[in-house]
Every structure is written in C-alpha cells, then in structure tokens.
C-alpha cells in the first residue's frame, strides 16, 4: 500500500473495514487465540503481524522515516478498534509496539528507523526493562547500573516482570548512571541487544500457566553509544513519555478487546439459561458500564496524544479504569461459562482461564490502582493529603 494523501480517520476506518471484510475467510484463523503455550501463540499471531505490515495497515500512524506511511497516531487506534470489531485477536506483541515504538521515534530516531520496520513486519520482539526486585515500580529506587565507558556503557543488574522478555531480541532498559542518591535524576534509558554476552533471560511462570514474564540479568553488558535513548541522566524524562502510551494507547487497545469479548458473550448467551439470572445481568451491566467509561476516557487521551499533547498525571485515570474494566469483563465471562471455564480441557475454556487469571494482575502491573488513585486525587483533583 503506497503512501498517498493523508487519510481522514473516518475514511481510513471505512477502507480498513472493507479490506477486513474482503479478507474475512483468509483471516478467520486469527479469530481465536490458540490455547497452547505462549511461544506457539506468538508464532501464530506473528503471521497476522506480518500480514498487516505487508498490506500496509500497521504502518499507518508511524512516521515515514521510521518505515511507516505517515498520518496521525489516531490511525493506529483505528487499526485496533477495527481488528476487534471484525472479531480478530489483536496480537499481544502490539502492546510492546505501542509502549516502545513512540519512545524510539521521539528519543532515538536512528534506532526507530532500524528497528520499527523489523517489529512491524514480525521479525523482532522487544521488551521493557523497568521493574526490579528491590524497587518494584518505584523507578527512583532502581539499582541496575550503567557505567559510562569510552565506547558507550557497561550495564550490570537485574530486571523482573518483563513482559515477553524471553522472546525479545532487544530491550529498553532503564539504568542508573548517577549516584545511588540521585533518584530519578540519575537514570539513563538504553537499547540493549539481549543476545549480547553477559545477558541471561529466564522465563517466569504466571498463575495462569503461561510464562508471561521473564527476569533479566546483566553482567557488565556492553551497550554502544548508539544504544542511548535520549540523553545521559535523561532516562526519567524518556520513561515519563513512554508511560503516556503504555497507559493511553494500551488502554484503547484493551478496551477494543474487552468490548469484543462482551459482544460475543451477549450474542452467544442462552436467554433462558443461567444468563437470565439477576446476578449475571447485574455483572454484565457492570462490565459494560466499566468498559464504556474506559472507552470514553481513552478516546480523549488518544486524541490528545495524536495532537502532540502530554496528558500528564491525568493518564492515571486511564490506568485505573483499565484495571476495573478488565476484572469486571472477565468476571462476567467466568459466570457465563461456569463451570466449564474452571473444569473443561477444551481450548476455549483454557484460554478463558488464562485471561481471567491475567486480569487479576491488571490493577497491579504498570502501576498499582491505589497509587493511580492517589495521583489523581493529589495531582489532578488537588485534594489534601490525609493527616492521619
């Protein structure tokens, strides 16, 4: 698909919808996520990632000098919405794309030009190395160090809870270049080749049975100067920019998935069976309400991101609403599919179990919901701190 005049959002959505309808038969294999291991699932979804690249749809909304076709960020939001509306699974790897792609485009354009086409075409997977055993999500307490050398940096330390880390070739790693007392002012963001000597990656099995995460160890790993993202000691600024998309565009992507799950649940529920009970009707209404709130909020955020605005601390609202919608949606799906969801060995039940378990962590990963509420209360609403 050659880049022509920049499309309007509505025209772009209509064209994409027509293409998805025309390709419905060929793409039907992507309507369900395989219940096998994560490696098999990523390989399966990788074919859809490659198809969307070759057809051009995943390249819209990314700059042309980074392998994209141009146009506003909103065109990426359209892609996720239309994929879900067509009943297709949005590839899990796109979560990392939306987290790290904008970071590279903004702070490391040379890296973006090299690596973004590789990711969009399905040839690379990336990881985000932030959390640590001693610091959790408190980035100001990070202990992984990056020693400045004549040719670049030497990284030593450990990262944990790294999504898809065992499948990634490269990772954006936040490390300390300042003193141990420098807090957020002494952090630097680096692009690390995970095939480098001194890197050890170990998968972590989650409660849902999938190795969703990994821990990464760095033993004096060499990172060339070209792997610098932003500036030395400027990692905090880069991380705050990244979080806008990790919470904003990710929330939009996930609301599309949740609405698809709820639409399908309503369309297949037996109106004379358990679904007619008041408890399930109440749970379904709660889930629809929570997801509608998330969609309305994240729509505003994505439009602001596309306009080049920084939502600032208001982005914590999106993260809090996302956790609530995730859990409400999979709670009602559990009720509608009980007891098969817990006991059956078929593929649909296995996938639902995995998704329900993962939803339990949605109010913790990426910033716990209580912390997000505190940020909204203090920095957005200006409420006074408790004196107790």
* Among 196, 64, 170, 173, CA closest to 117: 64
318: nearest Cα among 290, 353, 280, 346: 290
**Domain residue limits at 241:** 236-380
Write down the pLDDT at residue 137. Answer: 65
State how far Cα 287 lies from the chain centre: 21
Phi/psi of residue 365, nearest 5 degrees: -70, 150
Per-residue pLDDT of the chain (388 residues; tens, 9 = 90+): 444 555 689 999 999 999 999 999 999 999 998 877 788 889 999 999 999 999 999 999 999 999 999 999 999 999 999 999 999 999 999 999 999 999 999 999 999 999 999 999 999 999 999 999 987 667 888 999 999 999 999 999 999 999 999 999 999 999 999 998 888 899 999 999 999 999 999 999 877 777 889 999 999 999 999 999 999 999 999 999 998 888 899 999 999 999 999 999 888 766 666 556 788 889 999 999 999 999 999 999 999 999 999 898 999 999 999 999 999 999 999 998 888 888 888 888 988 998 999 899 899 888 889 989 999 999 999 999 866 5
State the virtual CA torsion across 323, 325, 327, 331 in degrees, nearest 10. 180
Say if 388 falls within a structural domain.
no
Whether 386 is in a domain gets the answer: no
Structural domain contains residue 341: yes
Q: Give the catalytic positions in this structure.
A: 246
Give a yes or no: residue 385 inside a domain. Answer: no
Does one domain contain both 109 and 175?
Answer: no
What DSSP string runs through 338-354? TTHHHH--SHHHHHHHH
Which CATH number covers residue 141? 2.40.110.10
* pLDDT on residue 307: 93
Do residues 81 and 139 both lie within one domain? no
Q: Is residue 86 part of a domain?
A: yes
Buried b / exposed e over 306-321, threshold 16 CB at 10 Å, is beeeebeebbbbbbbb
Same domain, 241 and 371: yes
Phi and psi at 255, nearest 5°, equal -65, -35
Look at residue 3 and tell me if it is in a domain: no
Say yes or no: 17 and 77 in one domain. Answer: yes
Let me know how many helices (H) and strands (E) the chain has, helices first.
12, 8
| Residue 147 exposure: Cα atoms within 13 Å on the Cβ side | 9
247 and 320 co-located in one domain: yes
- Burial code (b: 16+ CB inside 10 Å, e: under 16) for 93-106 equals bbbbbbbbbbbbbe
The verdict on 159 and 67 lying in the same domain is: no
| Number of independent structural domains in the chain | 3
Same domain, yes or no: 139 and 110? no
- The verdict on 265 and 145 lying in the same domain is no
Strand partners, 374: none
Same domain, 361 and 261: yes
Tell whether 294 and 182 lie within a shared domain: no
| DSSP conformation letters of 289-325 | HHHHHHHHHHHHHHHHHHTT---GGGHHHHHHHHHHH
Element (H, E) at 27: helix 24-27
- Out of 89, 105, 124, a domain closes at 124
Query: Which CATH number do you get for residue 86?
Result: 1.10.540
Least Cα distance to 241 among 105, 116, 340, 68 occurs for 105
Peptide bond into 244 cis (omega under 30): no
Whole-angstrom Cα distance, residue 255 to residue 325?
8
Backbone φ and ψ for 149, nearest 5 degrees, come out as -120, 170
pTM: 0.92
Domain closes at, from 190, 214, 233: 233
Give the pLDDT of residue 277. 77
Q: Which domain-ending residue is among 215, 233, 251?
A: 233
Is 4 a member of any domain? Answer: no
Both 255 and 361 in a single domain?
yes
CA atoms within 13 A on the CB side of 152: 17
């Amino acid at each position: 698909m050659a880049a022509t005049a920049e499309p309007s959002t509505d025209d772009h959505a209509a064209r994409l919808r027509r293409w998805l309808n025309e390709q419905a038969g060929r793409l039907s294999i992507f309507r369900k996520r395989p219940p096998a291991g994560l490696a098999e699932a990523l390989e399966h979804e990788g074919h859809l990632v490659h198809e969307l690249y070759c057809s051009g749809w995943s390249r819209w909304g990314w700059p042309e000098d980074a392998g994209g076709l141009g146009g506003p960020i909103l065109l990426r939001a359209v892609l996720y919405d239309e994929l879900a509306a067509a009943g297709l699974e949005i590839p899990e790897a796109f979560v990392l794309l939306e987290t790290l792609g904008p970071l590279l485009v903004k702070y490391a354009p040379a890296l973006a030009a090299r690596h973004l086409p590789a990711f969009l075409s399905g040839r690379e997977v990336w990881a985000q190395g932030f959390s640590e055993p001693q610091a959790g999500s408190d980035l100001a307490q990070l202990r992984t160090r990056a020693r400045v050398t004549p040719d670049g940096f030497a990284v030593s330390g450990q990262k944990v809870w790294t999504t898809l880390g065992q499948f990634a070739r490269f990772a954006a790693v936040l490390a300390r270049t300042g003193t141990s007392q420098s807090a957020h002012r002494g952090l630097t963001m680096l692009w690390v080749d995970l095939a480098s000597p001194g890197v050890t990656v170990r998968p972590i099995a989650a409660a849902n049975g999938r190795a969703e995460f990994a821990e990464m160890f760095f033993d004096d790993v060499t990172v060339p100067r070209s792997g610098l993202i932003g500036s030395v000691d400027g990692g905090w600024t880069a991380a705050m920019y990244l979080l806008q998309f990790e919470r904003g565009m990710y929330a939009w992507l996930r609301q599309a998935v949740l609405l698809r799950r709820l639409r399908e649940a309503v369309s297949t529920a037996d109106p004379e069976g358990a679904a007619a009970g008041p408890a399930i009707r109440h749970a379904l209404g709660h889930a629809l309400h929570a997801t509608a709130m998330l969609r309305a909020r994240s729509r505003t955020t994505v439009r602001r991101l596309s306009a080049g605005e920084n939502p600032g601390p208001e982005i914590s609202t999106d993260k809090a609403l996302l956790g609530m919608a995730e859990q409400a949606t999979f709670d009602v799906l559990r009720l509608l599919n009980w007891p098969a969801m817990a006991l059956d060995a078929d593929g649909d039940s296995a996938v639902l179990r995995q998704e329900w378990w993962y939803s339990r962590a949605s109010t913790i990963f990426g910033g716990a919901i209580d912390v997000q509420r505190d940020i909204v209360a203090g920095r957005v609403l200006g409420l006074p701190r408790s004196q107790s």
